[in-house]
Amino acid sequence: MPGSDRAAPGIHALHGFIGSGKTTFARRLERTLPGLRFSPDEWLVALYGPDLNAEEFPPAFARVMAVIEAQWTRALDLGVPVILDHGFWGRADRDALRAKAAALGVPLTLYALTLPGGEALRRVRVRNAQPGALPISDETFRTFRARFEPLDPDEEAVYVSD
Ligand SMILES: Nc1ncnc2c1ncn2[C@@H]1O[C@H](COP(=O)(O)OP(=O)(O)OP(=O)(O)O)[C@@H](O)[C@H]1O
Ligand SMILES: [Mg+2]
């Protein structure tokens, strides 16, 4: 059967804070697997532009995530590995993803990007100046940092470094 020599389709999920290099790594992974990459920021900018305010952002993000999830579950159904470039900041998000993978009966690999905050912020400042970037202010970076829950010791992951 054509395609039967491909790797079993699985979920490849990226965990890491803003600027830690998730999308850069995801772009590499999409070619090496190969797999279909879902980077929510790209969808947000394409659909709504780069300037959503604090009220507009959460509902827009929720819509994007719902559309993306419908696509990646369909891709898995069709035998295509998927790369979820979502960050998975919260333990609860990761627990939900593990439960979802188990329910779908597909393997899940969680990749952890652990760049120190100072260097991540420096890279984000550089990225902000590039076309198509979703701008992240220093204030947003610091505010969101409080929401970031690093992996607990019982959470299996592949640690990624440059
Ligand atoms: N090894 C590296 N050295 C220098 N800059 C890098 C390196 N890897 C990635 N970058 C740059 O750092 C910036 C942040 O990387 P990237 O966009 O991949 O992070 P991210 O985790 O996806 O961020 P976000 O959470 O905002 O989506 C990008 O401009 C990227 O090109
Ligand atoms: Mg990214």
User: What's the CA gap between 60 and 81, in Å, rounded?
Assistant: 26
Per-residue 3-state assignment (H helix, E strand, C coil) for 84-95: EEEECCCHHHHH
Order of all β-strands in the sheet with 82-87: 36-38, 82-87, 11-15, 108-113, 158-160
The pLDDT of residue 19 is above 80: yes
Ligand nearest to the CA of 18: 1
Task: Name beta bridge partners: 37.
Answer: 83
Is the pLDDT at 5 greater than 80? The verdict is no
Please indicate, yes or no, if residue 110 is contained in any of the structural domains. Answer: yes
- The answer to pTM > 0.95 is no
What's the pLDDT at 162?
A: 73
137 band by pLDDT with thresholds 50, 70 and 90? very high
- Residue 86 resides in a domain: yes
List ligand 1's pocket residues with C-beta within 6 A: 16, 18-24, 41, 87, 123, 126-127, 136, 162
Q: Closest-lying ligand to the alpha carbon of 39?
A: 2
CA of 4 to the centre of ligand 1 (A): 35
Cα radius of gyration (the chain): 16
Residue nearest to atom 27 of ligand 1 (CA): 18
pLDDT of 20 reads 98
* Domain span including residue 44: 29-115
CA separation (Å) from 154 to 10, 22, 95, 106, 150? 21, 22, 12, 20, 11
Residue 107 forms part of a structural domain: yes
The residue nearest atom 4 of ligand 1, judged by CA position, is 123
Beta bridge partners of 82: 11, 36
Residue 35 placed within a domain = yes
Ligand nearest to the CA of 130: 1
**Residue with CA nearest ligand 1 atom 1:** 162
Distance (Å) from CA 19 to ligand 2 centroid: 7
Residue 8: the pLDDT is: 57
Distance 21 CA to ligand 2 centre (A): 7
Give the other-Cβ count within 10 Å of 4's Cβ: 6
pLDDT value of position 3: 45
Q: What is the pLDDT of residues 59-116, one digit of tens each?
A: 999 999 999 999 999 999 999 999 999 999 999 999 999 999 999 999 999 999 999 9
- Looking at the domain assignment, is residue 139 inside a domain? no
Q: Which positions ≥6 away from 96 have C-beta within 8 Å?
A: none
Residue 153 lies in a domain: no
CA-closest residue to ligand 1 atom 25: 18
- E strands, 21-115, are 36-38, 82-87, 108-113
Cβ–Cβ under 8 Å, residues 35 and 82: yes
Give me the torsion for CA of 96, 90, 83, 73, rounded to 10°.
30
User: How many domains are there within the chain?
Assistant: 1
Determine the distance separating the centroid of ligand 2 and the alpha carbon of 127, expressed in angstroms. Answer: 10
Domain annotation covers residue 20: no
Give residue 152 CA to ligand 2 midpoint distance, Å: 22
